[in-house]
Amino acid sequence: MIGKTVLITGAAKRVGRSIARELHGAGCNIVVHYRHAAEAARTLTEALNEERSGSACCLHADLLDVRALAALVDQSVAHFGHLDALVNNASSFFPTPLGTIDEAAWTDLMGSNLKAPLFLAQAAAPHLRESHGAVINITDIHAERPMAGYPLYCAAKAGLLGLTRALAIELAPDVRVNAVAPGPILWPEGGDDFDSAERAEIVAHTLLKHEGSPHDIARTVRFLLADAPYITGQVINVDGGRTAHL
Ligand SMILES: NC(=O)c1ccc[n+]([C@@H]2O[C@H](COP(=O)([O-])OP(=O)(O)OC[C@H]3O[C@@H](n4cnc5c(N)ncnc54)[C@H](OP(=O)(O)O)[C@@H]3O)[C@@H](O)[C@H]2O)c1
């Protein structure tokens, strides 16, 4: 993938950063998109540029601002001259028990997990057609099997899975579109969402009996981008086998 340029949303930390490092290690130029994590984005970008001069830049955007989405793609192309892949990784995640859901929660969860990936892909499409590129959407195993207490998040990820298949049709044959669906990889920041008993139960439901790592997601993204020319419209569950008996 030497010289390929990849825009990764929410790339400053956690899984997004691991994807950025993995693809950079494979020779890609990386656009590190961030919203609040400015310092982490700058630190990562500097580290990548120290490894290979001029191989990374960081760009700010709130993905809930639909006008910022085309601008993010335009700025990426202006910086590197072309775009080969879009990784829709950014996501908000919080519980929305039925009866508590308001429009702000809808806007946030649907906006970051579904609406932004669509408008980013639409803006990127002409560039990706030109480069015969790819889109990778990071979904969730709970797109297909919803998790109690998280109906909006699960519906948004289900939409993203549907969008993956629809975009694979719309953008064929020039652009491949696939999804990676993580299982338990990194617990949410803040640590309030799952207590230790819930975490243990989730891990016990994997076949492999341990959590995955961000690198498990990153290496799957790399596979889909670099080594899967005949795969499109698909989802790969990276979940230690959890969906085999959910
Ligand atoms: N972690 C897991 O175990 C797990 C399990 C299943 C699925 N997934 C999926 O895998 C992906 C990565 O997971 P993660 O845990 O690393 O994600 P995360 O830390 O929860 O979120 C990634 C980034 O998304 C960005 N983001 C959220 N809302 C945004 C908005 N409105 N505009 C711009 N950026 C926004 C944030 O960027 P800033 O910090 O810069 O604001 C955040 O750092 C996500 O799509 C997630 O749904 C993860």
Residue-wise pLDDT tens digits, 66-81 = 999 999 999 999 999 9
Q: Which residues of 150-170 are buried (b: 16+ CB within 10 A; e: fewer)?
A: bbbbbbbbbbbbebbbebbee
Question: What is the spatial distance between Cα 12 and Cα 18, in angstroms, rounded to a whole number?
Answer: 9
Residue with the larger pLDDT of the pair 2 and 132: 132
166 alpha carbon – ligand 1 mean position (Å): 23
Find out whether 16 and 240 touch, Cβ atoms under 8 Å.
Answer: no
Q: In the prediction, which pLDDT does 245 show?
A: 82
153 alpha carbon – ligand 1 mean position (Å): 12
Q: Which atom of ligand 1 approaches the CA of 34 most closely?
A: 40
Dmax over CA atoms of the chain, in Å, equals: 52
pLDDT mean over 21-32: 98
Scan for tokens 């008996």, then name that residue: 245
Q: In the prediction, which pLDDT does 191 show?
A: 65
E-strand spans in 106-205? 134-138, 176-182
Domain coverage including residue 133:
5-244
Question: Is the model's pLDDT at 29 over the cut of 80?
Answer: yes
Helix, strand, or coil (residue 163): helix
Q: Which residues are catalytic?
A: 153
User: What's 182's domain CATH number?
Assistant: 3.40.50.720
Q: Which amino acid is at 135?
A: V
- Give Cα separations from 117 to 3, 54, 159, 163, 230 (angstroms): 24, 26, 10, 9, 23
138-163 pLDDT, tens digit per residue, is: 999 999 999 999 999 999 999 999 99
Q: Which atom of ligand 1 approaches the CA of 138 most closely?
A: 45
188 alpha carbon – ligand 1 mean position (Å): 9
The helix or strand, by DSSP H or E, that contains position 156, with its residue range, turns out to be helix 151-171
Question: What is the spatial distance between Cα 98 and Cα 191, in angstroms, rounded to a whole number?
Answer: 22
Question: Is the model's pLDDT at 246 over the cut of 80?
Answer: no
Question: What is the spatial distance between Cα 21 and Cα 198, in angstroms, rounded to a whole number?
Answer: 31
Percent residues over pLDDT 70 in the chain: 100
- The residue whose CB lies within 8 Å of the most ligand 1 atoms, and thus the one to mutate among 8, 15, 33, 236, is 15
Q: Which atom of ligand 1 approaches the CA of 88 most closely?
A: 45
33-42 pLDDT, tens digit per residue, is: 999 999 999 9
108 alpha carbon – ligand 1 mean position (Å): 12
Question: Is the model's pLDDT at 137 over the cut of 70?
Answer: yes
Least confident of 9-13, 168-172, 202-206: 202-206
Question: What is the spatial distance between Cα 17 and Cα 85, in angstroms, rounded to a whole number?
Answer: 16
pLDDT mean over 187-204: 88
- The residue whose CB lies within 8 Å of the most ligand 1 atoms, and thus the one to mutate among 9, 34, 35, 63, is 35
- The residue whose CB lies within 8 Å of the most ligand 1 atoms, and thus the one to mutate among 8, 88, 91, 203, is 91
174-185 pLDDT, tens digit per residue, is: 999 999 999 999
90 alpha carbon – ligand 1 mean position (Å): 4
Q: What total number of domains does the chain contain?
A: 1
Q: How many CB atoms are closer than 10 A to CB 49?
A: 15
Find out whether 8 and 217 touch, Cβ atoms under 8 Å.
Answer: no
Q: Which amino acid is at 87?
A: V
Which residues have CB under 8 Å from 22's CB, separation 6+? 215, 218, 219, 221, 222
Q: Which atom of ligand 1 approaches the CA of 108 most closely?
A: 31
pLDDT mean over 99-106: 98
| Structural tokens at position 58 | 């960081």
| Ligand 1 site, CB within 6 A | 10, 12-16, 34-37, 62-64, 89-93, 112, 138, 140, 182, 184-186
Q: In the prediction, which pLDDT does 2 show?
A: 78
pLDDT band at 126 (very low <50, low <70, confident <90, very high): very high
Q: Which atom of ligand 1 approaches the CA of 153 most closely?
A: 47
pLDDT mean over 92-121: 98
Q: Hey, whose CA ends up nearest to atom 3 of ligand 1?
A: 185
The answer to whether the bond into 126 is cis (omega within 30° of 0) is no
Question: Is the model's pLDDT at 173 over the cut of 80?
Answer: yes
Q: Compute the mean pLDDT over every residue in the chain, rounded to the nearest whole number.
A: 97
pLDDT mean over 112-139: 98
pLDDT band at 193 (very low <50, low <70, confident <90, very high): confident
